[in-house]
Amino acid sequence: MRVTIKDIAKKAGVSIATVSYIINNTKPVTPETRDKVLQAIKELNYRPNYSARGLANYRTNLIGVLIPYWDEDTKQGVMFDNPFYSELVRGVEVVTSKHHYHILLMGISDRPQAVTNLVQQRDLDGLIVVGAYQELVASLTKIEIPVVLVDTYAEHSRFYTVQIDDEYGGYLATQYLLTMGHEKIGLLTGELFPQGVAVRRFQGYKKALAERGLEVNHKYVYETKISTQGGYEGIDHLLQQAPDLTALFSMADIMTIGILKRLREAKLKVPDHLSIVSFDGVLYPEFLNPALTTIDQDIFEKGRIAATLLIKLIFGEKITEPHVVLPVTLAARESVKELK
């Protein structure tokens, strides 16, 4: 049978109200009383009933984290095979666990109403949404709980946001390849839809080329899925339409793994045949052969800040920085060859 605070009160010889004060940390009690109650909790192996506490506090201690996937039927492609998202959720969980909150992990549906229905059915206290598109963001304005958007460029006015400087990341990757003597630089990217991070990185790519007096050669750009398979298949298409490439900017590490596998099969060496700069720095790039040059972002910190913002919103605390933009850095390793 479930142990209740009534059982704790009886064993410790105190009132039920006193046990509640200690568990919820709402009123001070003497050290002796606190010790007796904590000892009773330990001996009876008491676990708080968060559902019951939610009825009293108007909170369920449950936060939703919405993560995108690109295949509605198989649920594959992003949410379940990209370590980027596990690192992000790890950052979220570090914060939520300290505040006794649990995470409900959900895939973003292409039906916004399904998301809002789920929020209401599970009575969530707050929501973190990663990579939301415009229609979903519009539907989120109809719900009353706090929302924090991560990696989202959809137009909004009421939501707090956490993202990186994606355009500068794309610029930094392309500029580095240019300084290493490359001008025929390919871009393997996710879908370039207006509100996505990919289009911001593409803008950085264009900006770096323009500073060198170069225009975008559309044969050098190929859109694919942000997945290992997307990289594996995409590099074939890109090299077929642009066999003269000397360098490649890969939009995500998860794609780069597929790229590297396909290049090995084709007996094309990195960086001798093709130099590569990747993006994210999440897949231990220094341990690959060759060590992979990457644009690094702190994914864990992104999740931690998003969760911190959300907890503050839930508890009505003041937020001095509602829109956080985290930096990116270039980690130069062995996957780029300098052209003389």
How high is the pLDDT of residue 188? Answer: 98
> What is the per-residue pLDDT across 110-166, written as a single tens digit (0 to 9) for each?
677 777 777 777 778 999 999 888 888 888 888 888 999 999 998 887 899 999 999
What mean pLDDT comes out for the span 189-206? Answer: 94
Domain ranges of the chain: 5-48, 62-164+299-325, 166-297
How high is the pLDDT of residue 50? Answer: 56
Does 62-164+299-325 match 5-48 at the fold level? no
The whole-chain average pLDDT of the chain stands at 89
Q: How confident is the model at residue 74 (pLDDT cuts 50, 70, 90)?
A: very low
Of 1.10.1040.10, 3.40.50.2300, 3.40.50.300, 3.30.1370.60, which CATH number belongs to 62-164+299-325? 3.40.50.2300
Bridging pattern class, strands 329-331 and 293-296: antiparallel
How high is the pLDDT of residue 195? Answer: 84
Q: Which class does domain 5-48 fall in?
A: mainly alpha
What topology does CATH give the domain 166-297?
Answer: Rossmann fold (3.40.50)
Which are the contacts of 224, defined by CB distance < 8 A and separation ≥ 6? 188, 189, 190, 230, 231, 233, 234, 237, 255
What mean pLDDT comes out for the span 182-193? Answer: 95
Answer with the residue of higher pLDDT: 173 or 71.
Answer: 173
**Angle in degrees, CA 149, 189, 127, rounded to 5:** 15
Is residue 31 over pLDDT 80?
A: yes
SS3 content of the chain, % helix, strand, coil (to 5): 45, 15, 40
What mean pLDDT comes out for the span 182-209? Answer: 95
d(CA 176, CA 142): 44
- The model's pTM is 0.81
What mean pLDDT comes out for the span 223-239? Answer: 95
Lowest mean pLDDT among 76-80, 186-190, 243-247, 273-277: 76-80
Pick the closest to residue 275 from 247, 298, 303, 297 (CA basis): 247
How high is the pLDDT of residue 121? Answer: 73
Q: What is the DSSP letter of 145?
A: S
Q: How confident is the model at residue 221 (pLDDT cuts 50, 70, 90)?
A: very high
Is residue 236 over pLDDT 90?
A: yes
d(CA 82, CA 134): 23
Stretch (H or E) spanning 261: helix 253-265
Q: What is the edge-to-edge ordering of all strands in the sheet holding 160-164? A: 102-108, 62-68, 126-130, 147-150, 160-164, 323-326
Q: Are 254 and 84 in contact (CB under 8 A)?
A: yes
What SS3 class is residue 141? coil
